[in-house]
Structure 1
Amino acid sequence: MTNFVFRRLLLAIPTLWFIASAIFLLSKLMPGAFGSTYLAEQEAGYYSKSDVAARDRNYRQFLQTTGQDQPLFYFSVTSAALPDTLHRVFPERDRDFLKKLSWQYGNPDAAARFFRSLKEMEADLSETERLQVKENLYTMYSHQEPGELQQALAGIAAQLPANSPYQSEVLANGSTLVVSSPGYTYLFPSVQWHGSENQYHRWLAGLLKGSLGTSLRDGRPVATVLGDAIGNTWWLLLASILLATLLAMELAILMVRRSGRVWRSTLLPSLFLLDSVPLFVLAMLLLVLLANPAFLQLFPVYGMGYYNAYDQSWLQQTSQWLQFMALPLICLVLANLPYLTNQFYQAMAAVAGQDYIRTARAKGLPEHLVIRRHMLRNALLPVITLLSDFLPALVAGAVIIETIFAIPGVGRLLIDAVLARDYPVIVGIVVIVAVFRLLSHLLSDLLYALADPRIRSHAS
């Protein structure tokens, strides 16, 4: 059995590495970066040029500190029409503009020169000049076709004074870009080697040292952020799965009895009706019925995490915790009870007609011993597989529940991290869920071995 567990753990390590790497790379391929929306506020016109320049400089320093200005992987395969330093262009609006220029004209060097001269001219404009050329700049950023680009450049030349230091350079680079288009450069691939100075190598080196990175929102380690939130989610999931499993088992035993016809005719339609109610609707109904001053206010609606528990005993803390967690716990149990009960009942009904069950009954054993000692144990094997795959569904439910009931847990943290584009926290949450998923599969294998001695002897 020890060798079996050791082999499973060795197989889990590359699986965990693959899942974590895939999530990290996919998160970096998503559009947008942390802080880019705030930097884009410079277009609103409420700040002076010095404020825009200072904010731009601070943002670039932030990207260098967090390593987001580095290439994503050890190598990259792109089109020959794109500049090799495209990953260093921020914010995303400017990067997309340069990318579209390069794709349109197939000349990355000319596109990069025109882009740099345009940004230098924009930085040198006064507020009055910026308002004068605002429409032409918008046309230039929105349409990169030669006709629209030349028309926007002509409009800028007509509205700005002739002695503008960067105007002639922008016009010259724009004309060069239009006439020097080589055509089908985008059809040719370009392979670039970046070495170990990339975001993935930096993240993987920290992960091997036990670090999940640093949150982009508050600068705290991701492990600390997860540690503050994982307690409520862990106890909520553990208590809900234990209660739902025990209730489903007892209801299935009631229905599988010889005298369980009445229970089947009553419970099965009720469970079917309960299963048809969406989780968020069920949560809203519980809030309206059990946490509403106009009906019954038996439980608090929100406020968990905002009270001071330093001067309370552990009994008072537990009592207060249960008040806030009662409705979320009831909601998760009711949402998962129909499916679990049906699976328990189908598994036990499948073995109810086996020969060893008839033999046990012929020996005169009481029905509760026949069910619990013989029928239940052999029906546990398919249910164990079900419970091992139950964790992702519970985590998805916890995201909805923690958002509705304002519980400071991993689910609510995931929503906040997605909205803020805090990718290190997102990847850390996915890694934690993957670890628990692999551990649940390992636990199911151990439960298989305990439930069936034949599996135990084969594993050893």
Structure 2
Amino acid sequence: MLSRLLPGSFGAQILEAESFYSKGSQGSREAAYQAYLQRTGLDQPVFYFSISSSAEPAGIRHIFPESDRLLLRQLAWQYGNPELATAYFRALKQFDNPVEQPGQLQLKARIQKLHASIDPETISSTTDSIYQLLQGQQQGLVLRSAAEALIGDRQPYRALWPAFSWHGVHNQYHRWFSDVLQGDLGKSYRDSGAVQDLILQAVGTTWWILFFSMVLTGFLALELSILFVRQKGGKWRRLLLPLLFFLDRIPVFILALLLLILFASPAFLQLFPVYGMGAYYVGSQSWPERFASLFPYMVLPVICLVCVNLPYITNQFYRSLADVSQADFTRTAKAKGLSEGRVIRRHMLRNALFPIITLLSDFLPALVAGVVVIETVFAIPGIGRLLIESVLARDYPVLVGVVLVVALFRVISHFVSDLFYGLADPRIRLRS
């Protein structure tokens, strides 16, 4: 719903840009825009029903360009008569490609003035001057008559009255949801490629970055929290905690740029590639060879994600273990003469797993948010960069598809956390 409420579209941007379409006539661009709406399904209503103002003209989404759409909406809301506002707007549009005639520059200036004003006095005086300039021609007469009818039949309070419309199953949401249930996420507006294919290609790159970042962050956070809990870990805690607090204050994009400057720049140490994921091979290359070729490109992004998330994860792990260290069973295990390491890993850790599992279940979606920045900085063709490109290009099918995949991963992560709850505590599995 939010993607459809945003102003503008990919097709409108392409048609209005300085490209092949800008060299054509206004009529050809409008025809191309209508064809684009039909091809993408944007000519249909957004949902099963709609509630709008009674002054809103029907079919306003079909008007091109967007500045004309805004003018028609302003006229309808100002005068409360969508039929007469549409008639005046069409009469005004007849002057977009006028024939050669005397006073062409003056006529163009007056038409531009009407496109920028909805004031009744300005509209009345300007249409009268256009009629006189055209010396009674049909175009001027139609425009002046439409303006007089619009101004004379004002209904200012009609815009406050709501209008309910039922569209049935012939709407954009029903079409999209039906395709999603069949595994079809739609077509990209940019290249007409299948959205699921674009996402699968991007996930193949992002997955390795997310996997290694999650494993390294979880392992380091667990070991650091165990080190802090140990009695002999006090000096390490005093040494490492300020460093973790310092890392926690650095924004992810600043840290990514610093790593690029320090370890991927000829001015310092050019140890790793600057951007991308290397050359893409097909066919004979084996999986280990493919991974070895990608590894140098993943080092800096993985280090960046680990450094950004490590302070928070370590703090949560440490708090969980510190709470368990005051429990009765911990003191009992120490009284039995068990070593400190065995007490922590065999008794404390298992009872501290519940908040840790909950935290890790939310860690994967949080990593995806960081990957958006990382892949943009390092120019990695992954899911984060695909999301940014789809936002900038207003490629709504790809945008909605990426958000849907991220939400699906979040649901799966919560389901996996429920399974781990049962593995961590058998009493959950035995509970009726």
TM-score bracket relative to the smaller structure: over 0.9
8 Å CA contact 1:77–1:191 kept in 2: the answer is: yes
CA distance in 2, matches of 1:257, 1:330: 27
CA distance in 2, matches of 1:206, 1:88: 24
Letter in 1 for 2:194: P
Which residue of structure 2 lines up, in the alignment, with residue 28 of structure 1?
4
* Partner secondary structure for residue 51 of structure 2: strand
Deviates more, 1:336-345 or 1:69-78: 69-78
CA distance in 1, matches of 2:47, 2:369: 30
How far did residue 305 of structure 1 move? 5.5
8 Å CA contact 1:291–1:299 kept in 2: the answer is: yes
Work out which structure has the larger RCO, using CA pairs closer than 8 Å and 6 or more positions apart in sequence.
Answer: 1
CA 1:248–1:42: 2 relative to 1, 3 Å? closer
Which residue of structure 1 lines up, in the alignment, with residue 275 of structure 2?
302
Which residue of structure 1 lines up, in the alignment, with residue 355 of structure 2?
382
Letter in 1 for 2:317: F
Which residue of structure 1 lines up, in the alignment, with residue 188 of structure 2?
215
CA 1:163–1:227: 2 relative to 1, 3 Å? farther
How far did residue 307 of structure 1 move? 4.5
8 Å CA contact 1:309–1:317 kept in 2: the answer is: no
Structure 1: 5+ residue stretches without partners: 1-24
CA distance in 1, matches of 2:21, 2:304: 48
CA 1:317–1:131: 2 relative to 1, 3 Å? farther
8 Å CA contact 2:255–2:304 kept in 1: the answer is: yes
8 Å CA contact 2:44–2:172 kept in 1: the answer is: yes
Which residue of structure 1 lines up, in the alignment, with residue 31 of structure 2?
57
Find out whether 1:433 has 2:409 as its counterpart: no
CA-to-partner distance for each residue in 1:210-235, whole Å, 9 max, x for gaps?
11111110001111111111111122
TM-score normalized by structure 2?
0.94
Find out whether 1:99 has 2:73 as its counterpart: yes
* Partner secondary structure for residue 76 of structure 1: strand
Which residue of structure 1 lines up, in the alignment, with residue 320 of structure 2?
347
Deviates more, 1:147-156 or 1:359-368: 147-156
Deviates more, 1:131-140 or 1:340-349: 131-140
8 Å CA contact 2:92–2:111 kept in 1: the answer is: no
CA 1:362–1:333: 2 relative to 1, 3 Å? same
Which residue of structure 2 lines up, in the alignment, with residue 258 of structure 1?
231
Partner residue of 2:122 out of 148, 152, 162 = 148
Find out whether 1:47 has 2:46 as its counterpart: no
Aligned-pair identity in percent equals 50
Q: What RMSD in Å do the two structures reach over aligned CA positions? A: 2.3
CA distance in 2, matches of 1:33, 1:131: 33
- 1:232-381 equivalent positions in 2, closer than 5 A: 232-304=205-277, 306-308=279-281, 310=283, 312-381=285-354
CA 1:153–1:428: 2 relative to 1, 3 Å? same
How far did residue 32 of structure 1 move? 0.8
Deviates more, 1:34-43 or 1:425-434: 34-43
CA distance in 2, matches of 1:40, 1:70: 22
Find out whether 1:408 has 2:381 as its counterpart: yes
CA 1:127–1:421: 2 relative to 1, 3 Å? farther
How far did residue 148 of structure 1 move? 2.4
Which residue of structure 2 lines up, in the alignment, with residue 10 of structure 1?
none
How far did residue 132 of structure 1 move? 4.5
How far did residue 326 of structure 1 move? 0.7
CA distance in 2, matches of 1:452, 1:362: 24
TM-score normalized by structure 1?
0.88
Partner residue of 2:425 out of 452, 455, 460 = 452
How far did residue 154 of structure 1 move? 3.7
CA 1:143–1:333: 2 relative to 1, 3 Å? same
